[in-house]
């Protein structure tokens, strides 16, 4: 299996995705461990993809699709086992899972790109915001309820305490952050409706 994983066997070309799927099945079929065979098989699949230069697989999750439809996974595995280990069943199933995972990633990227575009458009209405404030507002949009402190803003942007305080207080005055007291210090909280506030 190690020779196969490292491309030493067979002599003919096997596409890295197919090789990864075969490795997944192989380890799960051999079942060498008392527990964690499925996780290890998926890790081996990911290793093969990344080893072959398919870096996008770092951001793709096939596990969630396998958890959602365990019967389909088990059926593909069983068909392969009971048909003289004809891997066609398992390969087709896993290819389908990969396709769905890729689609979900693409949909997520499109959604996030749209959100970023909307954020940039909304921020254009506030030319008085400096780059530090723009970065903080962009973060606050993605993390409603997140709190910001003057010292943290100061350290993040390597500015003086007074500059960091001015940044946050002005955002509060513009109704883009909510200023609250936490003990003796002030915190600035991202409101849940920040996006709508930006569009006013």
Please tell me which residue, 109 or 119, carries the higher pLDDT value. Answer: 109
Please indicate, yes or no, whether residues 38 and 93 belong to a single structural domain of this protein: yes
What is the CATH classification number for the domain harbouring 160? 1.10.10.10
According to the model, what pLDDT value does residue 141 have? 87
Show the DSSP H helices in the chain as ranges. 2-5, 16-30, 37-51, 63-68, 70-82, 88-123, 131-142, 150-157, 161-173, 194-199
Query: Among residues of the chain, what percentage have pLDDT more than 70?
Result: 100
Structural domains of the chain, count: 2
d(CA 147, CA 74): 45
**pLDDT above 90: residue 196:** no
What is the CATH classification number for the domain harbouring 22? 1.10.3290.10
For the segment 67-95, the average pLDDT, to the nearest whole number, is 93
**0.85 surpassed by pTM:** no
Please indicate, yes or no, whether residues 92 and 143 belong to a single structural domain of this protein: no
Between CA 124 and CA 178, with CA 167 as vertex, the angle to 5 degrees is 85
**pLDDT above 80: residue 116:** no
**Neighbouring-strand partners of residue 148:** 188
In a domain, 142, yes or no: yes
According to the model, what pLDDT value does residue 57 have? 92
């Amino acid at each position: 299996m190690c020779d196969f994983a490292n491309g030493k066997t067979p002599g003919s070309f096997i596409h890295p995705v197919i090789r990864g799927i075969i490795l997944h099945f192989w380890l799960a079929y051999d079942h060498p461990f008392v527990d964690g065979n499925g996780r290890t098989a998926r890790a081996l699949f990911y290793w093969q993809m990344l080893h072959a230069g398919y870096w996008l697989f770092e951001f793709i999750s096939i596990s969630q699709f396998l958890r959602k439809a365990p019967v389909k996974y088990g059926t593909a595995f069983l068909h392969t086992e009971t048909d003289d280990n004809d891997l066609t069943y398992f390969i087709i199933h896993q290819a389908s899972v990969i396709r769905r995972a890729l689609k979900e990633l693409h949909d997520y990227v499109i959604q996030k790109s749209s959100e970023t575009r909307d954020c940039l458009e909304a921020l254009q209405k506030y030319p008085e915001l400096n780059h530090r404030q723009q970065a903080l507002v962009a973060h606050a949009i993605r993390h409603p309820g997140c709190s910001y402190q003057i010292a943290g803003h100061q350290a993040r942007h390597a500015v003086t305490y007074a500059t960091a305080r001015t940044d946050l207080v002005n955002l509060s005055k513009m109704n883009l952050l909510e200023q609250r007291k936490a003990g003796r210090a002030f915190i600035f909280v991202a409101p849940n409706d920040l996006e709508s506030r930006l569009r006013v």
